[in-house]
A and B are shown apart, each in its own frame.
Chain A
């Protein structure tokens, strides 16, 4: 198991050091600094073995987190734990920076004591941690016996992510379907690979211990329902974008993963998503699709080398969605060779600039409606070089945000049942929003 956990600043100075196992000596702290943080080469692996000691590290801005062990630990677990550690810290004091860590070092030690015991990760849900570890020092001095046992039963309990007795005057929930669409396209416009990775993020403000059921236009469910003639769910509590579109089309989900609150065995047997939600914001599920993806933009590059010292680039972008919808924050990044001496750009829409420090022409468009196209042309002057190596021509990348889900996913319903308190599904106010963003959206040129 994890033998020790260190946090360093960018210089390699130790900010936090907690050793859990006797086999990790003090010199381990220095070994990592010398061999990894101060190493001359770029990091070649997130796992490093130095003198029979293994170091796992992740970086958050310029802070290094390293877990150390001498045993054959579960490597995936160690990384998951490090990410979780970052999440917990961030939810306590915001951004993970040297200053914040120094300011909260006592808190961090307390957390490390609680969520890692002898190197074994324990309950790390911030919801329950915050009931007894706070920034104002530890609660618990003046609690009653009931309160204390409530805390412990929650920390160890089956529903470790939610406490009893939550009350809201207004029962409300917000659903965000956030998708990032990824594309790699050949210069000829052939899709080399495309996939959508999506997340359903939920903010719930519900009283009591509500039982929720979430439904979407999952092909398997819809096909099943179609066969059995079951239509009761799709009808009334429809939350689909716009209200009328759902129920028609369904999408094939390649794979999905769920927050630990979701009953996985139930999903496995019935493919229904049921759960008792955590309070506040959390990620309900992640999913991935590869079929019938709506690619919101098409990039058509044209690069021509004019002699050895000039390059002509023309890039056309076409928006490919309903004309009534607007894409925002569009940015096209056209890489330029390292020996570029000057660039002239003309674009029809938006603003374009050559950024020498980034070796790219950055073309920004604030808004663009569907089924439109726009183009940019640039002349790139090159300095003559005797460098034999050819310019690698990095792909043209794009960023954007669109108000629909490129995978075609639609929320069909989210039902809330709370048998003990007297509010029903109809009393809950529900909001749904779809946002599609570019992931790695690249076209080779």
Chain B
């Protein structure tokens, strides 16, 4: 059997020859000829001229030949409607055939012939077949109703086929039920308001019964249909969930995903305190992870869906970070999606692992992937505050590689980190400036210019740097031009004397020589501001910027809800509502998650997006501004040039652009949204730099000035002050939200041998607070207040008071976890509030902690090796001398120093307030920023805390 020969006929006069063969008397020859015709049809040759000859072959009892002729008919009937009618008789006759396979074949094929005249003849046979005794015929007829509806919807309604189809939902055969459900669902989609499916508890019950018995495909149809149902109450919802969960173990991933869809939707209705709710959450994780061992294409679909699921219910997969680690051989589309999910799942608990992975990825070969990995490091920094420092140093390492696109990407994300943590990491600016010349991408150039403008007062040659960009002003992209304009104006406001010429130059470039209305308008606004009232200009341009939020690229909540209802489908792959890519009436209906019964919560903030543009669902890839940002952005809107950035054109433009870029994935969509929506949409992190630079916020008048002064002071302090004990920065221990308006932040310090708890109490409530008192829970080192909390005057609204509380170490002792945890209760006239905080163990290092050399040596030997623990301190750039001095400030005493092969070994001792000795060996190698430290102690549990102190002291 070598049918391939049919593909090779290419000579001329072929059609003519075929015609002769088709009319041959011999059956075999006829069949051969039809095969040749089909082969030609497949490769795209037009063989419609043979229509009458092929149709003539239809009258045959050879089933194979018949099928081939039918195939031909389906393709060409439309182009030859008059002749197609010749075939009707055979169809009608076949529908009466004793063989069910032939009856089904006839009705199946007839439905595919889209010729009006033929459809008329189809009705009677179809009616019979819908009631055929054979289930195979019935299941085929059920689909045929959908076919007919596609051709002539009115006819289907007039002939009452819809009712017959509804009856088939109660059929005894599961496959008939499944196909009837599929057909009805499809028909219902084009009649959004009809109650065609008429889902009620009875019909749902029938569907759930059929679910257990039908084929994998049938299960998908039924589950997809179930997802459209809204249970009446949480009871019904739970009972459906219980009957759907077994599907999570099906081998077919589509069955699993459709089941997940039903569960995710119905879960909304369950009360969260229900036991079953928790059980269900737990049941969802394993099947989702299993989807990742499917073939790559399915993995991709699964990952796109998981991306939605982790946004909606992060708790499901929060412990499954590792399965999203990228494998070397994953296809690139799987890698990119995994990376996205990794960032979404990143938390304080797993950040170290995530960062190690991301660093690994940043050295891969695929440019897009590497870029995304670099971006991800930045996003981690913004999301998990504790990791920010490590992220920044990783980014600096990457910048050192000098790989062009890595450097550019790193600079873009560092800009966001600066915004999120002002006045913390600006020391790296010098390194960034070194790479100025290698930046050739607009986004990176714009980011760098923003940095230079924002920190102009700290960069000596800021004016030179910006001037160098100005030379090619007209060749830059709009993004860069706008940024340059703003940066130079900022520079001028900070250093007015030297930069007058520069600012005039840029203003004239922007207003006179440019035909970009955005740029021109921004230029004029600055110009007028500067010329009328420089003080006001300062307030406006250098206003405090709103903080950027952690979650920058979450899908807007209403869209997310809709997409959750479309799990498993194309919409969930594109992350767009069906209306964005489906033509015609289908899919226009927006699906919604059901509201939780009984409670008023329901859908979460449904209208945030609408407030911004009025067309939220279309703005698919845009970013959710938090409430506060939204306010700022609306204000911004009034002042921003109104010409091109009106909301309506930007959203529609975005949508169209989005369609063409579909292949490019989310990233390209995000890029797209920036120039268009940037200023209005307020993309907090990624785009924020550009959007927010000229942001006009009604901020407090003295904020920028005060901030600047503070910075200067800080800077001086860092350099000139003598080494003292390390005092960690103040952190908020008790947020006002949790304590009826009382906010407590603070830190610990050791001053002249006394441990002090330094508290800042702020009253953010409306009423006066009095009668403060403080109490500690038992803790590892017996810390207790040595006196009462000295708040003598009542604390008025918006007032802040700083208090220093001396502590003793003679209180009751109880081992805490972590060791340095302290539980505190604060009382005032309103209530008692509890919080816990951690103190650096260095507070407990006493002044007489210097051990005798001999004693040290003996003790070191005496402590068993099991008690030794080793740690790495990374990225410390002090030499051993400086390190030793610094540590001494915190009562860590260097006893001896030895130099072996360029490596300095420092031996140190520490004594804790409760008499525990800790011995340390610190290895410092010149030029290597990574120190190794070995700690020995009879109570090895303190080692971890001591190490943390080393790290904190050395790095500050």
> Using a CB–CB distance below 8 Å, which chain A residues touch chain B?
1, 13-17, 19-23, 26, 29, 42-49, 52, 54, 56-58, 69-77, 79-83, 99, 102-106, 109-110, 113, 117-118, 120-125, 132, 135-138, 140-141, 143, 145, 148-149, 151-153, 155-158, 160, 184, 192-193, 195, 197, 254-260, 263-265, 267-268, 283, 285-286, 288, 388-390, 392-395, 397, 440, 442, 444
B569 and A72 form a contact (CB under 8 A): yes
B663 and A121 form a contact (CB under 8 A): no
Which of B324-332, B608-616, B778-786, B933-941 lies at the binding interface? B324-332
B98 and A254 form a contact (CB under 8 A): no
Contacts of B98 in A (CB 8 A): 145
Contacts of B331 in A (CB 8 A): 43
B42 and A16 form a contact (CB under 8 A): yes
Contacts of B212 in A (CB 8 A): 263-265
Q: Apart from A136-B1, A260-B215, what 4 extra A-B contacts exist at CB < 8 Å?
A: A13-B43, A47-B300, A102-B7, A255-B249
CB within 8 Å for A44 and B402 given contacts A72-B566, A184-B327:
no
B300 and A268 form a contact (CB under 8 A): no
Q: How far is the CB of A7 from chain B (nearest CB, A)?
A: 9
Interface residues of B in 170-225 (CB under 8 A from A): 173-176, 179, 182, 186, 212-217, 220-221, 224
A23 CA / B179 CA spacing, docked (Å) = 21
Which of B288-296, B424-432, B804-812, B905-913 lies at the binding interface? B288-296
Contacts of B257 in A (CB 8 A): 74, 76
CB within 8 Å for A58 and B150 given contacts A14-B43, A103-B1, A103-B3:
no
A188 CA / B437 CA spacing, docked (Å) = 39
CB within 8 Å for A49 and B581 given contacts A141-B63, A260-B251:
yes
* Chain A residue at smallest Cβ distance from B287: A255
Q: How far is the CB of B85 from chain A (nearest CB, A)?
A: 19
Q: How far is the CB of B434 from chain A (nearest CB, A)?
A: 15
Interface residues of B in 559-603 (CB under 8 A from A): 566, 568-574, 578, 581-583, 586-587
A148 and B99 form a contact (CB under 8 A): yes
Q: A110: which of B67, B139, B353, B571 is its contact (CB, 8 Å)?
A: B67
B568 and A257 form a contact (CB under 8 A): no
Chain A facing B: main interface SS: mixed
Contacts of A137 in B (CB 8 A): 63-64
A156 and B139 form a contact (CB under 8 A): yes
Contacts of B174 in A (CB 8 A): 158
Q: How far is the CB of B564 from chain A (nearest CB, A)?
A: 14
Contacts of A82 in B (CB 8 A): 297
B333 and A46 form a contact (CB under 8 A): yes
Instruction: Please name 13 pairs of A and B residues whose Cβ atoms are closer than 8 Å in the assembled complex, sorted by A.
Output: A22-B150, A70-B583, A104-B3, A105-B3, A109-B68, A110-B64, A117-B179, A120-B143, A137-B64, A151-B101, A260-B215, A264-B212, A440-B329
Contacts of A15 in B (CB 8 A): 42
A71 CA / B574 CA spacing, docked (Å) = 13
B569 and A74 form a contact (CB under 8 A): yes
A388 and B67 form a contact (CB under 8 A): no
CB within 8 Å for A58 and B401 given contacts A14-B44, A44-B663, A155-B136:
no
B100 and A152 form a contact (CB under 8 A): yes
B64 and A80 form a contact (CB under 8 A): no
Q: B286: which of A16, A125, A155, A254 is its contact (CB, 8 Å)?
A: A254
Q: How far is the CB of A13 from chain B (nearest CB, A)?
A: 7
B631 within 8 A of A: no
A45 and B101 form a contact (CB under 8 A): no
Which of B357-365, B508-516, B685-693, B857-865 lies at the binding interface? B357-365
Contacts of A141 in B (CB 8 A): 61-63
A256 CA / B293 CA spacing, docked (Å) = 11
Contacts of A160 in B (CB 8 A): 175, 215
A160 CA / B218 CA spacing, docked (Å) = 12
B880 within 8 A of A: no
B286 and A72 form a contact (CB under 8 A): no
Q: How far is the CB of A289 from chain B (nearest CB, A)?
A: 11
Contacts of B104 in A (CB 8 A): 152
Q: B295: which of A73, A83, A132, A257 is its contact (CB, 8 Å)?
A: A83
B301 and A135 form a contact (CB under 8 A): no
A444 CA / B38 CA spacing, docked (Å) = 54
* Chain A residue at smallest Cβ distance from B78: A22
Q: How far is the CB of A306 from chain B (nearest CB, A)?
A: 19
Contacts of B182 in A (CB 8 A): 1, 120
Q: B68: which of A106, A254, A288 is its contact (CB, 8 Å)?
A: A106
A71 and B254 form a contact (CB under 8 A): no
Contacts of B568 in A (CB 8 A): 74-77
Interface residues of B in 498-541 (CB under 8 A from A): none
A113 CA / B327 CA spacing, docked (Å) = 39
A77 and B42 form a contact (CB under 8 A): no
Contacts of A125 in B (CB 8 A): 215
Q: A105: which of B42, B289, B353, B659 is its contact (CB, 8 Å)?
A: B42
B250 and A264 form a contact (CB under 8 A): yes
Contacts of A43 in B (CB 8 A): 331, 333
A103 and B2 form a contact (CB under 8 A): yes
A151 CA / B136 CA spacing, docked (Å) = 9
* Chain A residue at smallest Cβ distance from B250: A257
Contacts of B569 in A (CB 8 A): 72-75
Contacts of A122 in B (CB 8 A): 139, 175, 179, 215, 217
CB within 8 Å for A72 and B42 given contacts A156-B139, A390-B401:
no
Q: How far is the CB of B353 from chain A (nearest CB, A)?
A: 8
Contacts of B43 in A (CB 8 A): 13-14
Q: B570: which of A19, A46, A75, A117 is its contact (CB, 8 Å)?
A: A75
A26 CA / B67 CA spacing, docked (Å) = 21
Contacts of A19 in B (CB 8 A): 75
A102 and B3 form a contact (CB under 8 A): yes
Contacts of B1 in A (CB 8 A): 103-104, 135-136
Interface residues of B in 98-142 (CB under 8 A from A): 98-102, 104, 108, 111-112, 114, 134-137, 139-140
Contacts of A263 in B (CB 8 A): 212
Q: How far is the CB of A193 from chain B (nearest CB, A)?
A: 5
CB within 8 Å for A156 and B224 given contacts A44-B332, A71-B587, A76-B301:
no
CB within 8 Å for A118 and B146 given contacts A56-B297, A80-B298:
yes
A311 CA / B878 CA spacing, docked (Å) = 32
Name, among B63, B247, B665, the residue most crowded by chain A CB atoms within 10 Å (CB to CB): B63
Contacts of A393 in B (CB 8 A): 363
CB within 8 Å for A444 and B360 given contacts A14-B43, A140-B63, A258-B249:
yes
Q: How far is the CB of A22 from chain B (nearest CB, A)?
A: 6
A58 and B295 form a contact (CB under 8 A): yes
A257 and B256 form a contact (CB under 8 A): yes
Q: How far is the CB of B176 from chain A (nearest CB, A)?
A: 7
B39 and A105 form a contact (CB under 8 A): yes
Q: B246: which of A48, A57, A155, A265 is its contact (CB, 8 Å)?
A: A265
Contacts of B3 in A (CB 8 A): 102-106
A147 CA / B903 CA spacing, docked (Å) = 88
* Chain B residue at smallest Cβ distance from A439: B293
B497 within 8 A of A: no
A156 and B322 form a contact (CB under 8 A): no
Contacts of A26 in B (CB 8 A): 44
Instruction: Map CB proximity to A onto B330-347 as digits: 1 under 8 Å, 0 otherwise.
Output: 011100000000000000
Q: A120: which of B64, B75, B179, B360 is its contact (CB, 8 Å)?
A: B179
Q: How far is the CB of A108 from chain B (nearest CB, A)?
A: 10
CB within 8 Å for A138 and B293 given contacts A73-B569, A75-B568, A76-B254:
no
Q: How far is the CB of A232 from chain B (nearest CB, A)?
A: 26
B253 and A268 form a contact (CB under 8 A): no
Contacts of B707 in A (CB 8 A): none
B364 and A392 form a contact (CB under 8 A): yes
Contacts of B329 in A (CB 8 A): 440
A45 and B581 form a contact (CB under 8 A): no
Q: B42: which of A17, A49, A81 is its contact (CB, 8 Å)?
A: A17
Contacts of B290 in A (CB 8 A): 254-257, 286, 288
Instruction: Map CB proximity to A onto B394-418 as digits: 1 under 8 Å, 0 otherwise.
Output: 0000000111000000000000000
Contacts of B327 in A (CB 8 A): 184, 440, 442
